[in-house]
Amino acid sequence: MKKRTNIDQSLGDAIDRVTILTRKIFFGEDGAYKEFVYLTEGIDKLNLKLSGALLACIIRLAMMNFEVWIRENAFRKGESIDAEEVKKMMIEVRNFNSKRYENKNEINRLTEMGFREFKIQHRSR
C-alpha cells in the first residue's frame, strides 16, 4: 500500500516547493514563510527515513531550482535581453526543469509517496 502525505501533493512536489520557498524567503519574500512552515511541518509528520539516495535527490532538486532562478532573474528584474539570449535561457530552463521532474519522480519512487509525473516532449528537442 502506498503511503499518503498530509500535504495534498506528492512528496516530490512538496520538497520541490520547499526548495523554491527557501530561495524566496532568503530574498525577503516574507509571504512565502506561511506555506514553507505548512509544508515542512507536514513533511516532518511523515517521519521519513533519510537515505543517501533521497538526500541526493533533494540536493539535486534544490540545485536545479537555484539554476532556474539564476537564469530567470534578469526577467524578474526587467532587464533587456536580446532574442538569442532569451532562446538560450529558455532551452537551459527547459533542460533544468526536465532534471527537476526526474528528481521529483525519484523522490516519489524512493518514498512511495506520490506518482510519476510525465511531461510532453517539446518540438525543439
Phi, psi angle pair for 10, to nearest 5°: -65, 155
Give CA–CA dist 35/119, Å, rounded.
Answer: 26
Q: Give Cβ neighbours of residue 110 (< 8 Å, ≥ 6 apart).
A: 51, 53, 54, 57
Q: Give Cβ neighbours of residue 69 (< 8 Å, ≥ 6 apart).
A: 23
**pLDDT above 50 for 1:** no
Domain boundaries, the chain: 11-111
**pLDDT above 50 for 2:** no
For 2, the grid coordinates are 502506498
Tell me what the mean pLDDT of segment 11-28 comes to.
95
For 22, the grid coordinates are 527557501
Look up the pTM and report it. Answer: 0.83
3-state secondary structure the chain: CCCCCCCCCCHHHHHHHHHHHHHHHHCCCHHHHHHHHHHHHHHHCCCCCCCHHHHHHHHHHHHHHHHHHHHHHHHHHCCCCCHHHHHHHHHHHHHHHHHHHHHHHHHHHHHCCCCCCCCCCCCCC
- Residues 24-47 have pLDDT tens digits of 999 999 899 999 999 999 999 999
Tell me what the mean pLDDT of segment 85-113 comes to.
93
**pLDDT above 60 for 97:** yes
pLDDT, the chain, mean: 87
Confidence band, pLDDT 50/70/90 cuts, at residue 68:
very high
